[in-house]
Structures are given as C-alpha cells and as structure tokens.
Structure 1
Amino acid sequence: MSKLRIAIWSVGLLLGFILLTKSCTTVDASHEGIKVSKIGSDRGANDIENVTGWIFYNPLTSFIEQYPTFTQTKDFEPFTVSAKGGTLFKIDPTLNYHLVKGQGANVYRKYRKELPEIEDNILRTIVYNSYRDVANTFTPDSLVNNRVGFEELVESKLRKALTDDGFAFENITSNLTPPESLQAMIDAKNTAVQNALRLNNQVAAEKASAEIAVTKASGLARAKIIEAEAEARANELKQKTLTPLLIQQQWIAKWNGSLPTTQLGTSSSTMIQLPIK
C-alpha cells in the first residue's frame, strides 16, 4: 500500500472518528434530552423527540438539546416596583425552580432557547410582572407591615405562571427594601406606638400597686378597729363584773394572814374593814 493511500485511509478514519464523536452523546437521569430536527421550514418545531441515555444522531440534520430537571437557583438583578401612590420598592429576588419532567419538548417549542437564556428573559419577566401586579394592590405602609401576605400573593402568581410554562415553582426570596425616607417614618411610628404601650403598661402597673396598697391599708385599719372594739368590749365586761364585794373577796383570797399595822404612838389598828350586815 502506497504512502498516499495510507494517508487517505488515516484521514478518513480520523474524520470518521470525529464524526462519530460529534454524532453521539448521553443524557443522564438529571436531565431531559430532546432531539430536534434542523430540516424544514419550522426548523424542528413539530419534529421533536424526547431521548434518554446514549443518543446517536446526524449532526448535519439534527441536534440534541438538554434541560436539567433538578432544582435551579437563579439570582436576578434587582428591580423596582411601585405600591399604591407610586412609592418605589426595591426587589432583589432569588428564585428556586425546576423543569417538570416531560415538559422539555414543550418548553423548546415555545421558546426555542437554552435554559440560561430562558432564565434571563422569560423567567425574569414572569418574576417582575408578578411582583409589579401584587405591589400595586398594597399601600406603602401595608406593604412594609404585611410582607408575609405580600410574598404569599407573589408566590401564588409565580406558581401558576411557571406551571403554564412547564416549570415547577419551589420558593423565592424577595429581599424587599422600602425607600429610606419611608422606612424612617415607619420606624418613628413604630417607636411611638411602642412608647405608648410601655407608658400604658407602666400606668396600669402603678394603678395596680396603688390598689394593692389601699387594700392593705384598709385591711390593717379594719383589723385595728376590730381589735379596739374587742378590747373596749372586754373592758366593759370587766367593769360590770368587778363589784366592791368581789374585789374584797379576791383580796381576802390572796391574804397571807398578816395584819398590816400603822404605828401611831403605842396603839395599833388593822386595815381590814368587814362589811356590816
């Protein structure tokens, strides 16, 4: 075999190997593959085939598009939305979502774009419109003070819009930021409310303490009155029972038999005077 023929075979084998590598790919379980035809006026819009595993195709007439089916996290550039009255709020959203299995072909038919381009254009528009529409139903104060309700409404709109496009909503972080001037006004208002509540609580506590003191004082005064009334009653009973005869009998009962005397010269006399019957 001549050197020229060997060279031709070598080039042919090389080209065949290159063609083989270019016409073979694999789609793993975490992705959804679709085989798209390049032939025809619709350029594959109606000729799409879902494929998995090892795929052989003619790169001159078709190509393989792959969409991941696991969770995707997209951090969008910040944007502003307006509440009622035109007050602007900053939104810096981060979206978690995934492609619904079996929807890859529909997504490609609808947008004919790779996923990064779909995120930067289609999904960003969906996210922006959801925040814009919901924010317009809130006043500035209610938007700041009811962020949970605001985000629940946004998530509801996102869930429906993404489902219509073949995606499943997981969660989103809004990072809602009001204007500095509005935040300062709200902070001042909240501080005033908190101070008023604290003063009300302090007044209530002092009133309760005063009522307790009055109750204690009333109890002590009542106790003293009862004690005085009892003592007066006892003294009254004593006065009624201590007759002269009873006093003399008590004295005799305690007498030890000695006669008290007084010295008046040489005479003596007793101090006892018996009652005359």
Structure 2
Amino acid sequence: MKKIFKSVLVLALLAVTLVSCERVAPNYYGVLMQNYGKAGKSDYSKVQGKVSTALSPGSELFQVPAWEQRAKFTDDNNETEKVLHMKASDNTEFTARPQYSYKSIEGKVVDLVFQNSRLGSGNDFMRSLEDNVLEPRIYDIIKEESRKYTTDTLMAKGGSLRFEQRVQAIVKSEFEKSGLELVSFSSNLDFSKKVKAKIDSRNEVNTNITVLDQKILEQRKTNELELLITEQAVIRSRGLTPEILQERAIQKWNGVLPSTYAGGGSLPFVKTVK
C-alpha cells in the first residue's frame, strides 16, 4: 500500500512538474524571476528552452520579443491614433503623432524585465511597457524640446528636421537606459490651417522684400558704374591738351600733302611755335 501511495505521489509530482513547465518561445528572450524578486536584480536570470516555475514559489517567466517592435500613440482600446497637443516657445499650438520602432537589446534584457516587472509577464508586457513607460517619456521629451523652438523655426526649411533629430537623439538615449534600441522615430508635427496661412503670408512678404532688395542693389551698382564711366570721360577730356591733339594728328598722317593746305610750308595742322 505504501509503495502504491509513493508511486502515485511521484506520478502526481511529475504531472505537476510537466504541467507547470513553460518553454521560451522561438525569437523570444526568456527572463526568469524567482523568490518574487525580493533580492532585487539577483533574482532575475536569462533562460531558454523549458523552464519550471511550479516548484519554486514566487517564480515567473517573462518572454520578451527579440524582433523589431513598431508602435504609435493610440487610445486605451489601441484603435484610434492619439494626437498630442504641444506649444512652441511663442505659445503657438501644434500637434504631434509620434511613431517609433525598437527592439530589445539581448545583453540588457534582464535589466529591462527587472525595471518593469511590475507591468506583468503576460502577452501584454510590451504593450504595457509602451503605454506606461515609453510613450509617457516620449511625450515629455517632445513637450520639453518644443518649448525651445519658435513656430517660424519649426516651419522653416530644415527647422523641423533639426527638431526631429534632437528629439530622436534624446529618445534613443532614454531607450538604451531601459535596455531597448531605438530603430526609427518620427514626431509627425502639424500646424493648424490658420497658423500655416499666417506663416505662408509672412514668407511671401519676406520673399517680396528680398526681391526688392536685390533690385535696389542692382540699380545702385548700375548707378555706380555709370558714375565711374562719366568720371573717366571727364578725366580723359581734361587730359586732351592741344599738344596731345597735334601729336595724335601727326601719328595718323600718311605723309601725303594735300594740294591746298594751311600753314605755309608747315606740316598740316602743325602750328609753328616762335
């Protein structure tokens, strides 16, 4: 009877062990938490294959996707895209619809789970991570950086790009602290029709002013050129003395005397000086 009881007990324990075994799925990183994580990070370890959690009280298996995750801000039902409302430094409101992608860093997956184990270990772990950790931080970063830019700067050529690059660099750094690699990021900034019309009108005025400035500069240069030509003509006219004119006439004479000429034996046009 005792042998039968022992055999049944062994089989029962074996059945419980088999039922309680979990397997780390392909393309996932497995992290096992033991002893409810009371000892801190030392209770967390990276695992693979079959993992038993029943025989160790307080054990829980976290499975983190190893492939790239794509996300965007959505409502609680994960159906409607969420629009973030921001303000530039000149108090003009604009909107942002951030989209981003990331993947877990294998060497930091234990840190990732340890820092966020409170979010649960089920299939919604990554979704909870996005909703409660990643996206609130992204929102704070965009909000903080937007106060450093004017509306004109954000809408000017290259201004939005500089803003995007700055925000992306900060988000990348924050993700790395959490054990994640930021793959792509876009804020997708947008302004109201009223603000766009105002900026377009201002840009048109600035363009017209630039054209007028170019015309004024061109006319000023033309006037300066004409003045230089006039001054050069005056200088030349002052330098044409009778002696110079006589010398030029001699240089151009071909040596043939006309049948009638003035001067009584002198060269044409040459005045005898006593």
Q: What is the TM-score with the length of structure 2 in the denominator? A: 0.63
Kept after mapping to 1: 8 A contact 2:99/2:186: yes
Rounded Cα–Cα distance in structure 2 between residues aligned with 1:190 and 1:60: 71
**Structure 1 match to 2:218:** 205
Residue type at the aligned position of 1:81: M
Q: 1:73 aligns with which of 63, 66, 70?
A: 70
204, 209, 212: which is aligned to 1:196?
209
Q: Gaps (5+ residues) in structure 1?
A: 1-11, 247-277
Is structure 2 residue 125 aligned with structure 1 residue 110?
Answer: no
Alignment of 1:121 with 2:132, yes or no, is: yes
1:75-121 Cα distance to aligned partner (Å, 9 max, x none): 22321122235432101111232222232222222222311221122
User: 1:98, 1:167 within 8 Å by CA — same for their partners in 2?
Assistant: yes
User: Counterpart of 2:190 in 1: which secondary structure?
Assistant: coil
1:47 aligned to 2:47? no
| Cα deviations by residue, 1:235-255 (Å, 9 ceiling, x for unpaired) | 9x87456639x9xxxxxxxxx
- Separation (CA, whole Å) in 1 of partners of 2:36 and 2:72: 37
Match of 2:202, SS state, is helix
What is the count of residue pairs matched by the alignment?
Answer: 226
Aligned residue type for 1:148:
L
- Structure 1 pair 208/136, CA: closer, same or farther in 2 (3 Å)? closer
What displacement does 1:74 show? 1.7
**Does structure 2 retain, via aligned residues, the 8 Å contact 1:72–1:97?**
yes
Structure 1 residue 41 displacement after superposition? 8.4
Backbone CA RMSD of aligned residues = 4.2
State the 4+ residue runs in structure 1 displaced beyond 6 angstroms.
213-223
Separation in 2 of the partners of 1:176 and 1:89? Answer: 7
Distance 2:264 2:98 in 1: 100
How far apart in 1 are the matches of 2:225 and 2:37? Answer: 93
Query: Structure 2: which 5+ runs fail to align?
Result: 1-10, 74-81, 120-124, 268-274
Tell me the equivalent position of 1:155. Answer: 168
1:46/1:231 CA distance change after superposition, 3 Å = same
3-state SS of the aligned residue for 2:29? strand
Q: Distance in 1 between matches of 2:40 and 2:226?
A: 90
2:194 aligns with 181
- In structure 2, do the counterparts of structure 1 residues 74 and 242 end up closer, same or farther at CA, with 3 Å as the change threshold? farther
Give the counterpart letter for 1:97 in structure 2: Y
Matches within 5 A, 1:119-268: 119-145=130-156, 146-209=159-222, 234=249, 239=261, 243=265
User: For residues 27 and 241 of structure 1, do their structure 2 counterparts lie closer, same or farther at Cα, with a shift above 3 Å needed?
Assistant: farther
Matched, 1:93 2:98: yes
Aligned to 1:32: 29
Determine which of 53, 61, 64 is the counterpart of 2:61.
64
CA distance in 1, matches of 2:84, 2:60: 36
Contact preservation (8 Å) 2:96, 2:190: yes
Say if 1:24 and 1:119 are closer, same or farther in 2 by CA, change over 3 A: same
Alpha carbons 2:53, 2:61 under 8 Å: kept: no
Q: In structure 2, do the counterparts of structure 1 residues 19 and 44 end up closer, same or farther at CA, with 3 Å as the change threshold? A: farther
In 2, distance between residues paired with 1:180 and 1:64?
51
TM-score (ref. length: structure 1): 0.62
Q: Which amino acid aligns with 2:194?
A: S
Structure 2 CA distance for partners of 1:42 and 1:73, relative to 1, 3 Å: same
Aligned AA for 2:128? E
Alpha-carbon offset, residue 66 of structure 1: 1.9
Question: Does the Cα contact within 8 Å between 1:84 and 1:140 map onto a contact in 2?
Answer: yes
